[in-house]
A and B are shown apart, each in its own frame.
Chain A
């Protein structure tokens, strides 16, 4: 067997190769907002095509509303006091479904390795995933909240304008930790079980804040300021921790 390097036998292929390698901006610095935006848009596109996360979340949340409404009289006086808890528990459970889906896409065909060998910053991936999950859970909340209002005959007695603030802070608290712990549980054998086992205990302070603040506003009993501040601090602390540790999680074997 004679082995020698061959000269370029196909001029066509050679010229195309030169075209590909002669572009000027081949190794530019990766502009962070662009990677974040591209990853977010990619996730939204994949979800739009499959509707895996949104369908399962909606179905799950709807099931929770119906099951709870069978368990007690939803039109009773107590309904307003416990509705805050029911709403957030339903959203938390449903969010777990979406959180698992986002990372599952990245381990199919080991696509995550393509990100790991690129120059893209790890935190752009994390923020894109967290923002995507935030949007999915927000859609769920927008769809499900009117149903809760109808099923449980709710009327807001306190300052209603604070409800969207609680919604935004509470949703971010769920998804930021959820996205992070879903990434941690990605390489474990039973990740579907692992995620709630890690996520639920760490979400207790945030859940308490959401439930108490929502209850106060629904009943108009007192001020929800303490709980809203608690939620904001929780978001700030855990977002910082997640961003600090995510690169280590991404590179873990």
Chain B
């Protein structure tokens, strides 16, 4: 198993964070992704937009290695899935937050995070507590996650995704059911992480929240990238 550790932020940004080459994913006759080819530079915050069923979450799951492409290729920081290390080198570098919480309802946030940390070889309760505090929750809260509000669960799920300090963050609807104040706090956190050199993909229907923080907006339509607009383009238009 290999984990790639980056020497410097400059070197990290030289390699594209994600490269999709002819990526197609079919579920039976339905093509969720159609021959998508794109390159995403490192150290940027991408906002993925599109209608329901456009293929946003499928693209995120393919980048996370949770879906096997029908055809095409996904590579993350220069490593392709299905290589000699079966993608293990990639997995250590990405944090994934799905629409479902990926948490055990019967365990508290702290217990969930301690277990998640162990999956990455991290044995550090203080670090788990810091991650929970970072998303605005109380690590001492001893209630099972199943009794949390949806917004609290979303924030715990974000803490879980951040825990192992991934270089690439894939967030699917992170702000759904989160109150405005907490959502703004989450955006600020993501913005700071991007400034620290992380690459972040956010699938959302709440683009306004990320209007100030995003580097690029990517529109997905019918399983393909319809357009990509950088914040610089938008500023020039205005």
Contacts and interface: CB of A to CB of B under 8 A. Distances in A.
A210 to B, nearest CB: 33
Nearest to B118: A38
A2 B122 CA distance: 41
B106 A110 contact: no
B121 A20 contact: no
A119 B130 contact: no
Interface string A21-46: 10101111111001100110010011
B188 A4 contact: no
A5 interface: yes
Contact of A253 (B68, B102, B124, B130): B68
A73 interface: no
- A interface bracket (residues with beta carbon within 8 Å of B): 35 or more
Contacts of B212: 3-6
Contacts of B94: 117
A16 B64 contact: no
A23 to B, nearest CB: 6
A190 interface: no
B121 A18 contact: no
B192 A8 contact: yes
Interface string B175-196: 0000000000100110111111
B119 A114 contact: yes
A113 B98 CA distance: 9
Contacts of B185: 10, 13
Contact of A1 (B116, B124, B234): B234
A67 interface: no
A13 B192 contact: yes
Interface stretch (B10-18, B34-42, B159-167, B219-227): B159-167
A20 B127 contact: yes
A23 B121 CA distance: 13
Chain B interface mostly: loop
Given A4-B235, A17-B189, A109-B103, A31 B121 contact: yes
A119 B1 contact: yes
B191 A19 contact: no
A3 to B, nearest CB: 4
A59 interface: no
B66 interface: yes
Contacts of B214: 3, 5
Contact of B124 (A23, A35, A39): A23
B64 A110 contact: no
A50 to B, nearest CB: 6
A113 B102 contact: yes
A38 B115 contact: yes
B162 A109 contact: no
B205 interface: no
Contact of B100 (A13, A38, A50, A110): A110
Interface in A114-145: 114-121
A188 interface: no
A105 interface: yes
8 contacts: A4-B235, A20-B162, A29-B1, A35-B118, A46-B106, A109-B102, A114-B160, A118-B91
Interface of A: 1-10, 13-14, 16-21, 23, 25-31, 34-35, 38-39, 42, 45-46, 49-50, 105, 108-111, 113-121, 247, 251, 253
Given A19-B130, A35-B121, 4 more contacts: A13-B188, A23-B127, A23-B165, A253-B68
